[in-house]
Amino acid sequence: MKKAIALLLCLLLMVPTGCKSAGRRYQATFLTLFDTVTTIIGFAKNEAEFQALSARVHDKLQEYHRLYDIYNSYEGLNNLKTVNDNAGVRPVKVDARILALLEFAKDMHKASDGKINIALGSVLRIWHDYRERGLADPQKASVPPMGLLQEAAKHTDIDKLILDHEASTAYLSDPHMRLDVGAVGKGYAVEQAALWLEGEGVSSLLLSVGGNVRAIGPKADGAAPDEGWGIAVQNPDKESEKSTLMTLQIDGLSVVSSGVYERFYTVDGVRYHHIIDPATLMPAAHYLQVTIVCRDSGLGDALSTIAFNEPIEKGLGLINAMEGVEAAWVLADGSLRYSNGFAGYIKAA
Ligand code: AMP
Ligand code: MG
């Protein structure tokens, strides 16, 4: 039954939505990857051509989804859940794509003075459980006790994630430590899929995994001059009639947002969202949303979480010092700040 539902959810939704000289515009949607909605948009001569391509993209993303899954096991596959389950027990032989993600996440941890930490799993698990319970029974929703969070925070030392590239193993030497790659896994996987597609000669396609967007090349719809892909950034105020905060125009770049509206629950009228500042062990309170524009979707995903945890002046300094990276911040009071070059991506109304 479960399988049948999964298959049903996996069904391609093929929607031709336009007709120009370079082909029709097609869109495919999948609901079974990374716990979110995946959309693929491209131009093709016919449905069969687009269906074949989007099925390959799906399969590629599914490989990463399974490898980076911390909740489910798959027969014959050692994934991040296997690594977590073997914390303090033994090193686990893993695919090179797991080692590469973990190495990248370690680099991001170092570069951000610990503002992004995939070894924060024990702390994030507590927030996850309180959120799930709070959503199931809002009357009884509560905030995790600080003592509980602090106890879990003793087991978040990323140096205890030991990677052995020669033996192809990953090992958590602290038995209470757990990995959670929610802040980087999706973006990293999307980037790897995009690089693979580019290597396969695909020159125009848009991938969006839960709003983590990566454009391959320009929008090849035959229009001249090329307008670029129009990417709608979610309005963080979900009660507003305006669902889009702004539309960006990009070619061959990524747009990644982190926001308070993605996963949250409410206790006594206060919203508790899912991005946790490792310094306070509480949801970071600076912003409603941070959006990053850059080439590499893995970097964009990491930076969206890092910037979310940094005060505005520090975030502006960080992003403005980086080549090819721009950002927009929606502050807690709803006001907007841009990095030096961000406005250049905003599509005129
Ligand atoms: P994102 O939406 O990319 O900012 O990622 C948020 C997800 O990353 C959360 O749902 C958690 O799974 C995880 N997460 C939250 N806070 C952190 C943090 N400080 N470092 C690493 N991962 C985090
Ligand atoms: Mg992120």
Please give the pLDDT value at position 349.
64
Helices 312-320 and 297-308 cross at an angle (nearest 10°) of 160
pLDDT at 220: 79
- pLDDT, residue 211, reads 79
262 lines ligand 1 (CB under 6 A): yes
Ligand 1 contacts CB of residue 278 (under 6 A): yes
Quick: pLDDT tens for 69-111: 999 999 999 999 999 999 999 999 999 999 999 999 999 999 9
The closest alpha carbon to 135, from 273, 289, 285, belongs to 273
Q: How many helices (H) and strands (E) does the chain have?
A: 9, 18
Length of the chain: 349
83-88-91 Cα angle (round to 5)? 50
183 CA from centroid of ligand 1 (Å): 4
Ligand 1 nearest atom to the CA of residue 212, by list position: 3
Do 161 and 119 meet the contact criterion of CB atoms below 8 Å apart? yes
Give the strands of the sheet with 19-20, arranged side by side: 19-20, 23-33, 36-44, 205-209, 212-216, 254-259, 287-294, 326-331, 336-338
Look at residue 28 in the predicted model and tell me its pLDDT: 97
Is the C-beta atom of 234 inside 6 A of ligand 1? Answer: no
Q: Is the dihedral of CA 306, 311, 312, 317 positive or negative?
A: negative
Q: Which atom of ligand 1 is nearest to the CA of 304?
A: 4
C-beta of 106 in contact with ligand 1 (< 6 A): no
Indicate whether residue 254 lines ligand 1 (CB < 6 A).
Answer: no
Q: What pLDDT is attached to residue 144?
A: 98
Per-residue confidence (pLDDT) for residue 333, from 0 to 100: 95
Phi/psi region, residue 227 (left: phi>0; alpha: psi -120 to 50; beta: rest), is: alpha
Give how far Cα 166 sits from Cα of 80, 99, 202, 307, Å. Answer: 19, 11, 33, 34
Q: Is the CB–ligand 1 distance for residue 169 below 6 Å?
A: no
Tell whether ligand 1 has an atom less than 6 A from the beta carbon of residue 305: yes
Please, what are the averages of pLDDT over each run of 10 residues along the chain (349 residues)? 40 46 85 95 94 96 98 97 98 98 98 97 98 97 98 98 98 98 98 97 95 91 77 93 95 96 95 97 98 98 98 98 98 97 91
- pTM comes to 0.93
Q: How many CB atoms lie within 10 A of CB 223?
A: 12
Handedness of CA 110, 112, 117, 123 (dihedral sign): positive
Q: Is 183 in the pocket of ligand 1 (CB under 6 A)?
A: yes
Q: How much distance in Å is there from the Cα of 345 to the middle of ligand 1?
A: 26
Ligand 1: which atom is nearest the Cα of residue 118?
21
Residue 334 CA to ligand 1 centre (angstroms): 22
Tokens for 263? 């996963």
pLDDT of residue 23: 80
* Minimum CA distance residue for ligand 1 atom 22: 183
**Ligand 1 atom closest to Cα of 184?**
3
Nearest to 42 by CA among 62, 59, 63, 28: 28
Compute the distance between CA of residue 314 and CA of residue 207 in angstroms, rounded to an integer.
31
Do 212 and 183 form a contact (C-beta atoms < 8 A)? no
The CA distance from 41 to 26, in Å, is 6
